[in-house]
Amino acid sequence: MKSIIQIVDFYAEKYSAEKINGEYMWKLCSKFLHIIQDTGGLPRVLQYMLTLCFEELNTEGEFFRKISEQDFGNISRLTANKLQSLYGIYNTIRASNKIAWELLYHCVMEKLVAPGDCLDPNNKTDTIENLETETHVILKESKKPGHYYIEMPFLFVVLYNDILRIVPIKQDWEIFVAFYEAFINNMLFEREEKSEVTLEELYRGAHGKNETLNKIVELKKLHVCQSMQQFPCSNITSLHDNKPIKWEEGNDLVVNGKGAPFGDSFVARKILHDPENFNALMITQDKWDYNGKSLTKLEVIKESIKNLKSLVKKSESIINYHDPCCITIIVTTRKYNFDYGQLPEDVLVIDKTNFEKYFGRIFSSRAAFFLDKDINPNFSELAKIKNIVPDIGEVTAGKIAEKRPYYNLNDFLDKHQGIKRQKLDEANIKLDFFPFDL
């Protein structure tokens, strides 16, 4: 990333881009940082994107002057289209569908490979080593000698997804999370040919009690559908075709109707190797980073109780299980302020400490600016700064925004001497200073 920033700085100097406190202001545009990071640093891909930004979509120097008005989603998509037109990536994927699936499987599931491995047993020429040389595959060293992780720049994942239709990358996070859960489920079911897995395998890295993580569930191929109605109710229909959703059969992962008090999505699963051999509803609740507030134990318990109450308070029979069982999976980018050993048995949590382990490096990068650290004073909104940094009010938060950028913690504390290092340490606040600390 450091070399990418240096290249953009070259253009910033060429076009006399505006500075703030001695630094080019473009570095404070998180959306632009996101899309240049999506190139993976591959020189030709970055060149295409920057040519679009500085020459094709804008007149000379206009990009930096109007950076806040740029359509970065369009720039990203046009760059991907350029790659497709030049290299015929769609045709390559269609011609080698097995290898394409295997590349994504190994990449997303973070499976190790050796240079001599063949991803398609019927094609012995396309080894991992050859694919790295001839395509856009990047090998990243692992702790195991001679073995590597496969990485692909996100723009190539977008192109693969255009053909393979794995997850709706540009959709709302709630829909993305549902599709991703189905993707992991279907990879385990189809690629690894598993008929049953533990919840620990299904929700990789989740926090929870061992009794919950060790539960074994039956696997079925899942389809994702969006409900027109707010579950729980007797009958729910698909937003796509208005047909009834037979969620009880366990073949559908249902994205709930907007504004439902129940979870954001759910799927019925059969618990195996249990004396009662019962069914359970796996209910996913997405709780994003609301102004830096911590996730509390009370919130977690309330979510679990709310879901169960939503089922049992209905007069009609919504769920025909002998002993209604709900397991709530909370997916959050917030930090927590309690010991996860205190979680109820019917709750799993995927938070910022294990977000990357569940979603993998590719997809977790969609939230890169607030996953790794509690706060980045170069980007954070005033409300978030006030909630996280101890003992500051609106005036100090405003001054923090005014005195950007910050290169490191010492620079930050020098500019705001009323904020003490000890207070940050006591509150376990770890500040991030991307991209100025590279």
Instruction: Work out the mean pLDDT of the chain and round it to a whole number.
Output: 82
pLDDT of residue 331: 87
Summarize pLDDT for 302-324 with one digit per residue, the tens: 877 777 777 665 534 455 555 55
User: CA nearest 252: which of 277, 278, 281?
Assistant: 281
Q: Give yes or no for a contact between 429 and 386, defined as CB atoms under 8 angstroms apart.
A: no
Distance, in Å, from the CA atom of 195 to the CA atom of 213, rounded to the nearest integer, reads 17
More confident residue, 337 or 370: 337
Instruction: Find out if CATH 1.10.150 is the number for domain 373-426.
Output: yes
For residue 362, pLDDT over 80 is answered with no
pLDDT of residue 259: 66
Summarize pLDDT for 33-78 with one digit per residue, the tens: 888 988 888 888 899 999 999 988 888 778 998 898 889 889 988 9
User: CA nearest 227: which of 175, 166, 169, 268?
Assistant: 175
pLDDT of residue 372: 46
More confident residue, 394 or 427: 394
Domain coordinates in residue numbering, the chain: 2-87, 90-164, 173-361, 373-426
Q: How many Cβ atoms are within 10 Å of 334's Cβ, its own excluded?
A: 21
CA dihedral of residues 164, 331, 336, 1 (deg, nearest 10): 20
Summarize pLDDT for 168-193 with one digit per residue, the tens: 655 566 777 888 898 889 889 988 89
Whole-prediction pTM value? 0.72
pLDDT of residue 196: 94
User: CA nearest 283: which of 258, 310, 300, 265?
Assistant: 265
Per-residue pLDDT averaged across 336-355, rounded?
Answer: 82
pLDDT of residue 73: 85
Residue 3 sits at φ, ψ, to 5 deg, of -70, -35
pLDDT of residue 50: 92
For residue 367, pLDDT over 70 is answered with no
pLDDT of residue 321: 53
- 232 prior amide bond cis, ω within 30: yes
pLDDT band (50, 70, 90) for residue 144: very high
Per-residue pLDDT averaged across 375-400, rounded?
Answer: 78
**Structure tokens given for 263:** 């979870």
Summarize pLDDT for 237-287 with one digit per residue, the tens: 888 888 888 888 889 898 887 766 677 888 989 888 877 667 788 898 877
pLDDT of residue 329: 92
Summarize pLDDT for 202-213 with one digit per residue, the tens: 999 899 999 899
For residue 10, pLDDT over 70 is answered with yes
For residue 13, pLDDT over 80 is answered with yes
Q: Give yes or no for a contact between 34 and 368, defined as CB atoms under 8 angstroms apart.
A: yes
Residue-by-residue DSSP string for 137-184:
-EEEE-SSTT-EEEE--HHHHHHHHHHH----TTS-HHHHHHHHHHHH
Q: What is the CA radius of gyration of the chain?
A: 24
3-state helix, strand, coil in the chain (%, to 5): 45, 15, 40
